[in-house]
């Protein structure tokens, strides 16, 4: 009987040890499995916790579209209360650096990825999605005391190529002196745009850069001989107090089409209708580029901007929606 009781105690001890070992094994297996799940796909294990309508991401945006995107993101976060968009407004060069370094999953810019940039991402098994969201324009702004409000396309090309350096080359009767062309930043999209448009290796000495679009407007406001180069979004939204303030301090140049320089030439300012029908010559596209490999918040925001509500905000901002038709009404006097 004593031997039998001893055997039973040993069996209970064995069962207890097995239970403890089993719990430890299951716990260890769970930890290993968790690390396996977090490790799948490489990189930061927290990158896939967002969905199209919730979570938090950081978005890099060309400063040309600050006013537009402030409205878009406010509307998006209002509709989706669990979504948080951390915005980073900077130059075009810095936007693409952030994107290529995987510091941001989404960017708002006015050029597509280059072939080299696409190849680098493809080598990382990333296929970015590019969505056309709007049509924008580069506007030339003038001091209110500048009597020249109309400039031909060929004269603009002459300024950027260095052939035209003084205002009396545009109008022999002009009392203004040297032309000073001012950009928002030397790393911004605007100098790149004109270098590519006119096929230039570099810009002439009459071109200068400050630090922001606001500084361009301030510089032109103080210097009658200056021409400022900014995105039209900074002066296109008539409902926005910032745009209205800027428009009261400068005027916008009207530009003719290439080769159209005679007395009967037509001149166009970067109004929505002239951007939409292509009459204004310095037009460009605006894109959302998303590098997320899953359906996350970057996809949700870009889809929202390209859909009805986001396109309506673009229309009200003074730009031209890319995915929604607009109606142009001609008013004859």
Which range marks the domain in which residue 304 is found?
Answer: 55-135+284-321
- Co-location of 119 and 181 in the same domain: no
- Co-location of 276 and 144 in the same domain: yes
Q: Residue 246 falls within a domain, yes or no?
A: yes
Which residues make beta-bridge pairs with 108? 61, 288
> pLDDT digits over 81-129, tens only?
999 999 999 999 999 999 999 999 999 999 999 999 999 999 999 999 9
- Co-location of 114 and 165 in the same domain: no
Q: Are 105 and 114 in contact (CB under 8 A)?
A: no
- Co-location of 199 and 84 in the same domain: no
Q: Residue 50 falls within a domain, yes or no?
A: no
Q: Residue 303 falls within a domain, yes or no?
A: yes
Q: Is the pLDDT of residue 333 over 60?
A: no
Determine if the pTM surpasses 0.85. no
Q: Residue 274 falls within a domain, yes or no?
A: yes
Q: Where are the beta strands (DSSP E) in the chain?
A: 55-62, 83-90, 106-109, 129-143, 150-151, 180-183, 207-209, 226-231, 250-252, 254-256, 267-268, 283-290, 320-321
pLDDT of residue 240: 63
> How many Cβ atoms sit within 10 Å of the Cβ of residue 205?
9
> pLDDT digits over 303-319, tens only?
999 999 999 999 999 99
- Co-location of 288 and 265 in the same domain: no
Q: Residue 118 falls within a domain, yes or no?
A: yes
Work out the percent of the chain whose per-residue pLDDT is above 90: 69
- Co-location of 199 and 271 in the same domain: yes
Q: What are phi and psi of 270, to 5 degrees?
A: -75, 60
Q: Is the pLDDT of residue 226 over 60?
A: yes
> pLDDT digits over 140-193, tens only?
999 999 888 899 999 999 999 999 999 999 988 888 899 999 999 999 999 999
- Split at pLDDT 50, 70, 90, the class of 37 is very low
Nearest partner of 226 among 107, 138, 128, 142, judged by Cα: 142
Distance CA 118, CA 313 (A): 30
SS (H, E, C) 212-233: CHHHHHHHHHHCCCEEEEEEHH
User: Of the spans 11-20, 30-39, 42-51, 281-290, which averages the highest pLDDT?
Assistant: 281-290
pLDDT of residue 250: 87
Mean pLDDT value across residues 201-229: 94
Domain total for the chain?
A: 2
Q: Residue 36 falls within a domain, yes or no?
A: no
- Co-location of 116 and 73 in the same domain: yes
- Co-location of 170 and 254 in the same domain: yes
Query: What average pLDDT does the structure give for the chain?
Result: 85
- Residue 88 sits in a domain whose CATH number is 3.40.190.10
Report helix, strand or coil for 332: coil
Q: Residue 204 falls within a domain, yes or no?
A: yes
Q: Residue 171 falls within a domain, yes or no?
A: yes
Q: Are 286 and 110 in contact (CB under 8 A)?
A: yes
- Co-location of 157 and 219 in the same domain: yes
Q: Are 68 and 314 in contact (CB under 8 A)?
A: yes
From the CA atom positions of the chain, what is the Rg in Å? 29
- Co-location of 272 and 172 in the same domain: yes
> pLDDT digits over 246-267, tens only?
777 889 999 999 988 877 889 9
Burial of 73 (0-12, 13-18, 19+ CB in 10 A): buried
Q: What DSSP element (H or E) covers 76?
A: helix 66-79
- Co-location of 110 and 146 in the same domain: no
- Co-location of 292 and 279 in the same domain: no
Tell how far CA 150 is from the center of its chain: 29
């Amino acid at each position: 009987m004593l031997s039998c009781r001893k055997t039973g105690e040993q069996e209970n001890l064995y069962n207890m040890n097995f239970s403890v070992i089993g719990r430890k094994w299951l716990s260890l297996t769970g930890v290993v499995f968790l690390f396996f799940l977090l490790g799948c796909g490489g990189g930061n294990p927290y990158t896939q916790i967002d969905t199209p309508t919730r979570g938090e991401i950081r978005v890099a945006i060309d400063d040309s579209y600050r006013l537009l995107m402030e409205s878009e993101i406010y509307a998006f976060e209002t509709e989706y209360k669990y979504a948080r968009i951390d915005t980073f407004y900077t130059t075009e060069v810095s936007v693409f650096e952030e994107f290529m370094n995987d510091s941001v999953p989404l960017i708002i810019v006015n050029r597509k990825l280059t072939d080299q940039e696409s190849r680098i991402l493809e080598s990382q098994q990333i296929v970015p999605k590019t969505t056309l969201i709007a049509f924008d324009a580069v506007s030339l702004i003038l001091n209110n005391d500048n009597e020249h409000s109309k400039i031909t396309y060929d004269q603009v090309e002459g300024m950027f190529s260095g052939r035209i350096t003084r205002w009396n080359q545009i109008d022999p009767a002009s009392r203004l002196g040297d032309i000073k062309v001012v950009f928002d930043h030397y790393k911004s999209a605007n100098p790149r745009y004109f270098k590519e448009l006119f096929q230039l290796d570099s810009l002439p000495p009459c071109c200068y850069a400050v630090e922001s679009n606001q500084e361009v407007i301030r510089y032109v406001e103080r210097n009658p001989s200056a021409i400022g180069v900014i995105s039209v979004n900074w002066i296109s939204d008539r409902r926005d107090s910032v745009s209205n303030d800027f428009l009261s301090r400068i005027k916008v140049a009207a530009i003719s089409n290439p080769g159209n320089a005679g007395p009967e030439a037509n001149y166009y300012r970067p109004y929505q209708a002239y951007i939409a029908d292509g009459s204004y010559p310095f037009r460009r596209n605006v894109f959302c580029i998303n590098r997320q490999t899953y359906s996350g918040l970057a996809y949700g925001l870009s889809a929202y901007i390209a859909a009805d509500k986001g396109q309506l905000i673009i229309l009200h901002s003074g730009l031209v929606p890319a995915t929604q038709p607009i109606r142009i009404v001609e008013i004859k006097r």
